[in-house]
Every structure is written in structure tokens, then in C-alpha cells.
Amino acid sequence: MGTIIISSEIVSVVFLIILLCGSVFGAKDRNKGTLCFCGCLVAAVIGTLSDAVSYVTFEPGRYDAVLTAANITAYVMTAVMFILFTIYFFSVIETKASVPRWAIYPVVVISALDIILVVIGTVNNKMIYMENGEVMDGDWSDYPSMLLFLGILYLYFVLFSYRKAMSFAQLLAFGGFLFFPIADSWITLFNAGIDFTYPLVTLAFMVMYVIIQEHAIAEESMKKILFEEDSFTDPGTGFKNRRAYDEAVKARDRGRAKAVVYCNVDHLDEIREKDGPEAVDKYVLGFGEILRDSFPGADICRVSESNFAVFLYKISESLLEKRVRSFSQAMEENGGMATFGHVYSDTAPLFDMVRDCKEMI
């Protein structure tokens, strides 16, 4: 059994290091949550290696300083992981809700008691001791598990209390993560000779990473993309601006867009003279809504105050004509808001398609 546990822990260390590398190099923003998650992984690596060492150095009739130190380290790292996980857990909640500062105190007290019991119990042979050449569990051996169980119940209470501040994926990930230590205690209850604490912890971290941490890293990348896209967005309409239009024409000048609709919004000068610039903005926004509804899924660029370009991709010529007729009807119903031209082609360069559209206006 010892060989099986050692093998599983070696595999666990490999997976933990992979997750740690993914967290460190995948996240650009070193916020509190990311740092605590990485700290949990480091503690898990140290604890797993220490637990493996305790099995490697164990021999009947032998109970030396290495075995003692390995056992203490493995137990202590469990408490350290529990504290770091709680900080990470609360940091996720705090992105949507306010958590009182004292909320972490029960976990700190429980973890501190756990560490004290482990250190004193190991030194005084209350955690483990030798009997007839075998390592036996002492009178205090169940106390760390009991304390951890109380801490897990408390975190489940916190999870339930702040369930509305978390997504379903977060609830699933945290709830599942907290269940793994309980599962390990059940396994140990039925067979005291089996201890898969750290392999189960590794499995829990894998679930956590896939559901939450990987999602957080993806969000950071998305924020960066959105930040870069701000410079390509027209603030008045939310469409892409002239810079985005120029980039589109340059990047897609190989016939990727199958259709182009180029519009010139009319009556802007008349509206400005009569009702002022705010009325112009309102008029353009109304036109933009019609444009968006008429050509769903298209790239729409505001080239200038009165000019808009619409790029359509996976569309047939018959569907384009249908949407153009609908758009033309909407223009007529709104007093001839704009004149426009449209071109469909499977092969023509985008620049030529835009030029042909302009000639139709």
C-alpha cells in the first residue's frame, strides 16, 4: 500500500507543478487571489513531498528525525493550505460582495490549533508512536481531522451565505473542492491504513483550476483585448471607428468579406441647424440601431460623422438582398435617413468592394 501511495503522490507533485506553472505564467495580474492560489499549490507540493518522504523513510522498528520532520511538515502544510485557500476563497467572493474582516478569524484559529497540536503531539508521541516495530496513531491523531472538518463546515456556511455573489461554476468548484477532504476522512475512517489526502487534494486543485482559475486567466486576457479594442470603438454609437475600418480594409483585402454595405446618413446639417448637435447625435444613434437590426452579426464601422461601412462574411447573395430590401424599407419609413450602396463578391478585394459601394451613392 505504501508503494501505491508514494506513486500516487509523485504523480500528484507533477500535476501540482503543472498547475503552478499555468497559474504563474498564465496570469499577468498578480492579484491577491492569484497569489494565494499559487501559495496553495506550493504548500500542496511541499506537503505531498513530505508525505512521500515519510513513507520512503518508514521501516519497521525505525522512527528517526527524518520521519518525524516529514510527518510534521505534511500535517502543517495541510493547515497552511487551509488558510491560503480561505483567503483565496474570500478574494473571489469580494469581487461581488463585501466580506467582514473577522470572517477569516475562525479559520485562522482552527489552523493555528491544528499546527500546535501537530507539533506538540508529534514531539510527545501523541500523534504517532512506535509499537512492536510499527508506526501507530497516537491519542491525538484524529484531532487535526476533526478541526479541519469544523473549518470545512464553516466554509460551507460562508459559501451558502454568499451564494448569490457567485456564479454556478464558482459554487460548483468551491463546493467540490471542500468535499474532497471530507471524502478522504471517510476513506480513512473505513481503512486507517489508507491515506490519500494529498492525491485527493491534487484532484481538487485540478477541478478548481479548470473551473475557476483558468476562467480568471481567460478573463484577464479578455480584459486586455477589450482594452485594446477601446481604441477601435466609436464612443458615440459603440460601433467600430475609422481606425478599425482602415485596419479591416487592410487586413481583409483578400475577399474574406463577401458583402459590403456603405451608407451616407442624410439631413445631418439640417437637423444641426434646426435642433442642435444633441439632436444629430440622437438621429445617428437611431440610424445605428436600424443598421444593427438590419445586418445582425456584421462588422459595422463609423467611418466619419455621416458615413458607415458594413462588412458581412458568412452570407449568401440571396440573404444579402433580403436584408438590403428590409434596410431600404426602414430608410423609407424613417424619411429617407440614408443613401447606400451594396456589393456582393466571393473574390473581389475589400478595398474594391468599398469603392464600388461609394460609387453607387
Domain locations along the chain: 2-230, 242-360
- The series of mean pLDDT values per 10 residues for the chain, 361 residues long, is 57 71 64 79 82 62 66 84 88 81 92 88 75 64 81 91 81 77 60 53 61 53 47 77 79 67 93 90 92 88 91 87 93 91 87 89 85
Q: Report the pLDDT value the prediction gives residue 268, as an integer from 0 to 100.
A: 92
Angle between helices 214-230 and 2-26 (to 10 degrees): 10
Q: Report the pLDDT value the prediction gives residue 99, as an integer from 0 to 100.
A: 84
Query: What phi, psi does 233 have (nearest 5°)?
Result: -115, 135
Give the CATH number of domain 2-230; options: 3.90.1150.10, 1.20.1070.10, 1.10.3720.10, 2.60.40.10: 1.20.1070.10
- Fold identical between 2-230 and 242-360? no
Cell readout for 90 is: 474570500
- Region of residue 315 (left: phi > 0; alpha: psi -120 to 50; beta: else): beta
Exposure of 237 by Cβ count < 10 A (0-12 exposed, 13-18 middle, 19+ buried)?
Answer: buried
Are 310 and 320 in contact by the 8 Å Cβ rule? The answer is no
Q: What CATH code is assigned to 242-360?
A: 3.30.70.270
How far apart CA 268 and CA 147 sit, in angstroms, is 73
Q: Report the pLDDT value the prediction gives residue 105, as an integer from 0 to 100.
A: 94
Candidates 212, 207, 218; CA nearest to 166 is: 212
